[in-house]
Amino acid sequence: MSTKANVRVRPKEIEHEIDEKGFFVRQNNYFATPFGDGEGKLPVEAGRYRLIWAKGCHWSNRASIVRELLGLEEAISINLVGHGRHEQDLGWEFIYDENNVDPVLGVQFLSELYANADPDYPGRATVPAIVDVTTKKVVNNDYVWLTNYLENEFAAFHKPGAPELYPEHLREEIDKYNDYLFDNVNNGVYKAMFAQSIEAYNDAFEHLYAAFDAIEERLETKRFLFGDYVTDSDVRLFVTLARFDTYYFKNLGPIRNRIVDFKNIWGYARDLYEIPAFKNNTYLRDLAKSDKKKTGIFLDYNTRFWDQIDFEKLWSQPHGRQEKSSDPTQKFLTKARGISS
């Protein structure tokens, strides 16, 4: 285990991100310098950055999906972190690498890279984190805009025929809808799970299911959130849907519906899962696996059944969503040609 002084115990959300009424208030993104040209921006260069993400974290999962969709594998390297077992919670660790050390960055814990960037950084070391490999410092952890930077600022490094996930004529609408998804769905599940008062829980629960109902209605006539083609918003919704029935449900109390109980949402989720970049970056069995060893009669659902469920078969069932599209054989708008591909 690393013995460096900048390896820190992970701050707890329920101690540092709960307001006086028991509502969860997520910490701000500390490293939010945008990518782009000009003074005060992070230079856009191939090979300079490394994306750190985690299988269980949907904020980071969406960046890993977009990176693959756009063909940025050569431009931006990547690595996974997870939770190791220590006496204290030391946060995200490079548990999948030899000796638990990232082979490019030479550190064991993500918090070391945060400390390299700011020794006085007070918050949780979160993913996604974009690390400058030349300095071994976190330079951006702004999950709100990160996929948009990959879609727009890194366009010069996209693969030929890369999908247009953030089309200019829809950007204002996509941004507005992404805010709605964040408040009610993406962060909504956490506002319910971390709520420390019944008032806060009920508020989050009601907003979450009101949003699911609205999305279910929206998807009645649309194949994807903005019509015939996948956009940035679909990536953001998918990563929460993938975790709802596999993991979130057990911390949400008596849920009203599972994702599989929504006809349109469930078909939509499977439609997206067919896309290799979505499937390759979605570890359903890992999400469902219980992280605690329990014995006795009363075992939670995941502990009993996670290794008996055929997630691949479940998520690969026919969905029939093509009939809602005017271009049923295609799921993407091609960036280069401006037509479907």
User: The domain spanning residue 277 has which CATH number?
Assistant: 1.20.1050.10
Q: Is beta strand 92-93 parallel, antiparallel or unpaired with respect to 129-132?
A: unpaired
Question: What pLDDT, in 10s, does the model give residues 74-94?
Answer: 999 999 999 988 877 688 999
Q: Is pLDDT of 186 > 70?
A: yes
Mean pLDDT computed over every residue of the chain: 91
What confidence score (pLDDT) does residue 341 get? 41
Q: In the chain, what percentage of residues exceed pLDDT 70?
A: 88
Alpha-carbon distance of 241 to 247, in angstroms, equals 10
Q: Is beta strand 76-83 parallel, antiparallel or unpaired with respect to 92-93?
A: antiparallel
Burial (CB count within 10 angstroms: exposed 0-12, middle 13-18, buried 19+), residue 284: buried
Alpha-carbon distance of 51 to 63, in angstroms, equals 8
Q: For residue 209, what are the contacts with CB-CB under 8 A and spacing of at least 6?
A: 256, 257
Report the domain count for the chain: 2
**What are the structure tokens assigned to 136, written together?**
């071994």
Same domain, 190 and 126: no
Instruction: Order the strands of the 76-83 sheet from edge to edge.
Output: 92-93, 76-83, 49-54, 129-132, 137-140
Same domain, 46 and 24: yes
Instruction: Please give the average per-residue pLDDT across 142-153, as a whole number.
Output: 96
Q: What is the domain range of residue 65? A: 13-157
Asked if 7 and 111 touch (Cβ cutoff 8 Å), the reply is yes
In a domain, 337, yes or no: no
Same domain, 129 and 203: no
**What are the structure tokens assigned to 297, written together?**
């009669």
Q: Is pLDDT of 300 > 50?
A: yes
Instruction: Please give the average per-residue pLDDT across 268-276, as a whole number.
Output: 98
Q: Is pLDDT of 221 > 70?
A: yes
In a domain, 144, yes or no: yes
Same domain, 114 and 30: yes
Residue 38, by phi and psi: left (phi above 0), alpha (psi -120 to 50) or beta? left
Same domain, 106 and 226: no
Same domain, 225 and 312: yes
Q: Which residues are catalytic?
A: 57, 190
Q: In the chain, what percentage of residues exceed pLDDT 90?
A: 75
What confidence score (pLDDT) does residue 90 get? 80
Q: Choose among 220, 209, 166, 165: nearest CA to 185.
A: 209
What confidence score (pLDDT) does residue 99 get? 96
